[in-house]
A and B are shown apart, each in its own frame.
Chain A
Amino acid sequence: MKPLLKIKHAVKTIYNDDDNLNILNDINLTINPKDFLVVLGTNGAGKSTLLDAITGTNKLTSGQILLNGDDITGENLAKRSRHISRVYQDPKSGTAPRMTVAENLLLAKRRGLPRRLRLRKLKENMPEFQKLISNLPTLDNRLNTFTEKLSGGQRQTLSFLMAIIQRPELLLLDEHTAALDPQTSKDLMELTNKIILEKELTCMMITHDLSDAMKYGNRLIVLKKGEIILDLNKAEKDKLTESDLLQYF
């Protein structure tokens, strides 16, 4: 199987006056199509830095990133966004507050595409947006609501829908349920899993929740001090208990 993403010898160094720190220390990682990769690790392990490097928000000090065999290491965020979408931890990071739910979805529908001087097609897209949110009680009938009026859970659900409305080759979830209350977090996680499986998306999800890490995904890696110290497939993962995982922290 041809890998979707290949990270080769990725190093990210922060230069200080007296000490240089490798946030990512020679990371090698291959993600295949339909992988649902769960990433665990303590704070400062390099999880978000790794996502930043994949999206192009933060460039690597050295190393290479290949997407579908093409070297994207030097490509900027805008070019990579055509293939990669991301949901942030903070519900406010992923949506435009003074635009409506429908306007946000329309923006996301053109992810990575040039923004032309032609009229947007909001009305034409409304049936599709309505269908998208019809099974979500939190967002139903809220297409014309300004995003700033939504709760954190509603905004994060919208962020997730924005990330998948135009099928991404790689979906990155950066602790996307961490800022929500337990019930909302559970609901969003179940929706996430359902859509990933239904649409057969390739996903890389960072989480601090061990039970989510055990329950979801078909692969699990643990990062520690910028290195991958554990990489398990579905069968290996299923043999582990939460307490087994704890020893890696």
Chain B
Amino acid sequence: MNLIVSTISQGFIWSIMAIGLFITFRILDFPDMTVEGSFPLGAVTAVSLIQSGHSTLYSLLIAFIFGCLAGFATAFLYAKLNVPILLAGILTMTALYSINLRILGKANMSLTKSTNIFNQFGLDKLPTNFNGIILGIIIIAIIIFLLIIFLNTEKGQAVIATGDNETMAASLGINTTVMKFIGLMVSNGIVAITGGLIAQQNGFADVNMGIGVIVIGLSAIIIGEVIYPDVSLSIRLITIVIGSIVYRLILMIVLQLGFNTNDLKLISAIILALCLALPTIRAQFLKTMRNGVKTK
């Protein structure tokens, strides 16, 4: 039971990262590799600040700002210097590795002797692992609420239109360059907050902790879409949370079956590949079934 609660708790926290990734991957319609650098950026920023005596909330705020700056760098390369988005993200991600090392001063740092947000504000009085669930729900509710409000503003609609059809958006007078900046900055800001939270939950920050996070985020988004195919944008944000929890539960089951934890990233990639292929497999299956019925 404790394992399931812990898994759900992780699902909630990681879904925040997936919501951030959703802004670029689905709303702006391009893959942003920056997240593999902005995630550890948030982690090292939060841990460094907490270790130097700052509050946990302040550390998350600064992590958000730094994440936004990482998104700004990618947006500048992509939207101003015309570097292809994939390459722009990889360049920022690579540069962030050195920046993260500079911030932390070493490859990893423990938080064991410091306080963290999971045992503050009365959360420490909750049963084991329920603090992650409650904190996750609170942060997710705030982020989803703010995102829904933003996406329903004129500017938010302009961001959606830019990702949906840039030619049309530009012909309606929307400054699509600015919209890409906004999307990339907010996305990486949210991803960096998640980095800061995961570092506090795990009790340490490591400059390598960003490897593979894009797969985790995409899995949550895709699983949410597979389970709930046709929903509004607001509901989609909630399905990402469900997708993230389902993904964590699948991973837990796989590991319980006796797979080696060293194979975790391989298993993650396979789960994502299966989820991505599922609509095609399902369509092929239905087509075969229909043909079978006709033949009979």
Chain A interfacial positions (CB closer than 8 Å to B):
55, 57, 77-79, 81-82, 85-86, 88, 92-99, 103, 106-108, 110-113, 115-120, 162
Contacts and interface: CB of A to CB of B under 8 A. Distances in A.
Interface string B124-155: 00000000000000000000000001101111
A82 B174 CA distance: 11
Interface string B142-174: 000000011011111110110011011111111
A168 to B, nearest CB: 11
Contacts of A119: 149, 152-154
Interface of chain B, main secondary structure? helix
Nearest to B179: A115
Interface of chain A, main secondary structure? loop
B284 interface: no
Contacts of B169: 96, 107
B24 to A, nearest CB: 15
25 contacts: A57-B171, A77-B170, A78-B170, A78-B175, A79-B173, A82-B173, A93-B167, A94-B168, A95-B165, A96-B161, A96-B165, A98-B164, A99-B160, A107-B157, A107-B158, A107-B174, A110-B154, A110-B172, A111-B172, A112-B173, A115-B155, A116-B154, A117-B154, A118-B154, A119-B153
Given A94-B168, A119-B149, 10 more contacts: A78-B174, A79-B173, A81-B172, A81-B173, A112-B173, A113-B173, A115-B158, A117-B155, A119-B152, A120-B153
B167 A107 contact: no
A4 B153 CA distance: 34
B173 A99 contact: no
Contacts of A107: 157-158, 161, 169, 172, 174
Nearest to B27: A98
B164 A99 contact: yes
